[in-house]
Amino acid sequence: MVKKTPVLFFMSLFLIICGGPAFAYVPDTPKRVDIEADRLSYDSDSRTYQASGNVVITFEGGVIKADDVTLDRLNDEATAEGHVFIQSGEDILQGEKADFNIGRETGVISGGTVFLEKNHLYLKGETIEKRGEATYFLKKGEATTCDGENPDWKFTGSDVEVTIDGYGFLKHGTFQVKDIPIFYLPYFIFPAKTTRQTGLLPPHLAYSTDKLGLDVEIPFFWAISENTDATFYQRYMTKRGFQEGAEFRYILDEGSYGTFYGDYLNDSMDSADPENSEFPDRNWQDNDKRWSYYLDTQTTFSPGFYLKTDVKRVSDRWYFRDFDSYNYYMTHYRPNSDRTFGNVTFEANKSLPSLTSTARLVKEWNLFNATALAEYTDNFQSSSNDETLQKYPEVTFTGMKQPIFDSPFDFELTSSFGNYYRTTGYRGNVLDIYPVFSLPLSFYEYLEFIPSVGLRETTWDSSYSSSGTSAEDKDGSRELYTAGATLTSEVSRIFNVGGEVIEKIRHAIRPEVTYSYIPYIYQGDIPDFLAGVAETNTATYALINTLVARLKDEAGGKTYREFLRFKLSQPYDIKEARRDTSGSLQPRRPFGTVTSELDFDPFSYLSVDSDAQFNVNGGEWESLNATVDISDPRGDSLTAEYRYTQDSVEAINVYLKAKATDTLDLWYAVRKNELDKKTLEATYALDYHRQCWSVEFSLTHSPDDKSFMVVFSLYGLGKVGKIGGRMPGQGE
């Protein structure tokens, strides 16, 4: 047995050995090639290698394995037979016989298969021809994304051509399920993309009994350039007609990008219904042109200086009530998203009370900020927008807390100038300047005391406008001072847990007392668009508990995580405590509403977020909001939300996902208005998924509609149908 070695001194000897293991290294060729085999011979005249027995040929970008290989180094052609395995880049070719050009990485393999890693796509054919770096042509071919010898589904064709990051084309083919032909496909195109490409996107298919009828949308995506693209939405609803929509996106650099979307529908549905108690004044005789548009841009002129627009408008206040099951804004809803595109931050359903559009010009310095804001609000809860207050514009200048030169004093500033406009009612201008001075004092490491004083000047001019009604103009000014102080401390203790993940836990208790004083000032002459400043003489105590864990990862690294924060606070009204009660039946009630805030996130499968306000004088809850998220490693999850505001809101939202089996997920979502004892919406859904395909069914009930959707997905090739709206926990 001869030891394998690449040493050049033994190369000539190895080239003539016809028995025993051998190894050859061939220098000075277009591509370096290493040959390893049980038996190896070389013909110097034709520069041809004959290798047999566990042949492994390694070249730049790939490898060839087979029982026998003939390698022509003049043309870089390899002919391999017996258990042929070729890896070219990330793609894998296998078969019984192959002719492969190492230089061009092209060739033909007989009775073989190809696995395309990027798409998880399997190709199988009588012959497979690799025509280039990214193109394959098959005779009597098959294509599937399913693993295994007997795939759940596959496309077949007499001729099949596939281009990675492009499309697959087949002729005279079928779509088969478990080798049973389901559809005949004389000519078919399917996507084989891993990057953005021009072409059709998965369609939306649904049926709505009352609002939309049969609902079909087929989007077309246009990759215009590396930094621009467009999507055209063609949507037909049997009860309303044809809706056209278009989206355009661009990105110039990291700080300059934008999205524009618009749609239009000539609504053919007669929605006038005198018996409709929810919208008794609705009539489309003069307003059947339905439209919406959305503009989200940011343009950065220099670091810290940018223009940001967030404009969204709809034709009427019933737009989201009619299209609440599915619309562009709902499918692009991303709360608190850091994505450059698709950051629609409002839930576009029938519960949306208003829609606010903004454009702001911002200039930032290290300790100062200047912002010019224009804001327009559409109020969907009113038949007219005439009384809704708009800002055209509002300019603010803010100074962060900072030392005054080298003195121990700190300074901060809030100032603004706004022009407030409405068609009916008071409108005018307001100038507000409010500097605050403070002196932070520390007593050793246990106590911090910060007294402060502020001076506030506000001036305004306003006029009243309304057809047939007049009122006096209101011009004036308001001067006042404010005073306050904050006293804080903190005690803590560290507990050694000694766990495999949690090493230590730090428990900190932070008591805090805040005092605020604002004297009484007459404000009977201010316009209604200027907020009043209430007389204040209040001390507020608070107690904050935090738990911070020190975690240890597998590599021994240390991280810290605050998994509990609980704050309890209550104001004490000194003015109320001093109130003269002689001759009054109302007793003093200086203690105000108790407020609690809880954030509890002990591990990745449980989180609790709640806030509440309790009126100690009336013994009633003024508000209570809580969200609980529970999940397990198996994939089950539960999200429960409770929202309560006294005499206004009481709502329960539940989102449940149950993993019945490894291949079947059950979904349930319900939104309830407990104040009116109504179920606003209930959705039942199931998702049956295998390794390479899935089917989803959903049924949604609401008081004014019922909808049913079916989504069939072939993984790697796209979907037919799409669930309208959003299911909890569902990924993008």
CA 187 – CA 171 distance, rounded (Å): 5
**Of 142-156, 292-306, 335-349, which range is least confident?**
335-349
Strand partners, 689: 694
Contact 638, 659 (CB under 8 A): no
More confident position, 729 or 704: 704
Contact 216, 709 (CB under 8 A): no
In whole angstroms, how far apart are CA 137 and each of 108, 110, 142, 199, 407? 9, 12, 11, 21, 79
Q: Which of 120-129, 380-389, 637-646 has the highest mean pLDDT?
A: 637-646
Task: Please choose, from the candidates 465, 310, 279, the residue with its C-alpha nearest in 3D space to the C-alpha of residue 381.
Answer: 279
State pLDDT tens for residues 569-612. Answer: 999 999 999 998 887 888 899 999 999 999 999 988 999 999 99
User: What is the band of 670 on the pLDDT scale with cuts at 50, 70, 90?
Assistant: very high
State pLDDT tens for residues 35-56. Answer: 899 999 988 888 899 999 999 9
Average pLDDT, the chain: 86
- Please tell me whether residue 556 adopts helix, strand or coil conformation: coil
**Average pLDDT of the segment spanning 101-120:** 85
State pLDDT tens for residues 474-492. Answer: 889 999 999 999 999 999 9
Percent of the chain with pLDDT over 70: 88
More confident position, 470 or 460: 460
Q: Which residue has tokens 């390694």?
A: 58
Burial 247-272 (b: 16+ CB within 10 A, else e): bbbbbeeeeebbbbbbbebebebebe
Q: Looking at residue 709, what is its pLDDT?
A: 80
Task: Please choose, from the candidates 6, 52, 10, 4, the residue with its C-alpha nearest in 3D space to the C-alpha of residue 33.
Answer: 6
Q: What angle do CA 606, 610, 614 make, to 5 degrees?
A: 150
More confident position, 278 or 625: 625
Count the Cβ atoms, other than its own, within 10 Å of residue 190: 19
Q: Looking at residue 3, what is its pLDDT?
A: 35
Q: Looking at residue 710, what is its pLDDT?
A: 79
8-192 homologous superfamily: Lipopolysaccharide (LPS) transport protein A like domain (2.60.450.10)
Count the Cβ atoms, other than its own, within 10 Å of residue 59: 21
Q: Looking at residue 360, what is its pLDDT?
A: 96
- Please tell me whether residue 524 adopts helix, strand or coil conformation: coil
Contact 112, 96 (CB under 8 A): yes
In whole angstroms, how far apart are CA 17 and each of 14, 25, 36, 37, 50? 5, 15, 13, 12, 11
Model confidence at 5: pLDDT above 90 = no
CA 343 – CA 590 distance, rounded (Å): 45
Q: Looking at residue 338, what is its pLDDT?
A: 57
Count the Cβ atoms, other than its own, within 10 Å of residue 348: 25
State pLDDT tens for residues 679-727. Answer: 988 999 999 988 888 888 889 888 878 888 877 777 766 544 433 333 3
User: What is the band of 203 on the pLDDT scale with cuts at 50, 70, 90?
Assistant: confident
User: What is the band of 613 on the pLDDT scale with cuts at 50, 70, 90?
Assistant: very high
Strand partners, 115: 92, 122
**Average pLDDT of the segment spanning 515-523:** 95
User: What is the band of 468 on the pLDDT scale with cuts at 50, 70, 90?
Assistant: low
C-alpha torsion sign, points 210, 322, 678, 658: positive
- Please tell me whether residue 663 adopts helix, strand or coil conformation: coil
**Of 110-119, 274-283, 429-438, which range is least confident?**
274-283
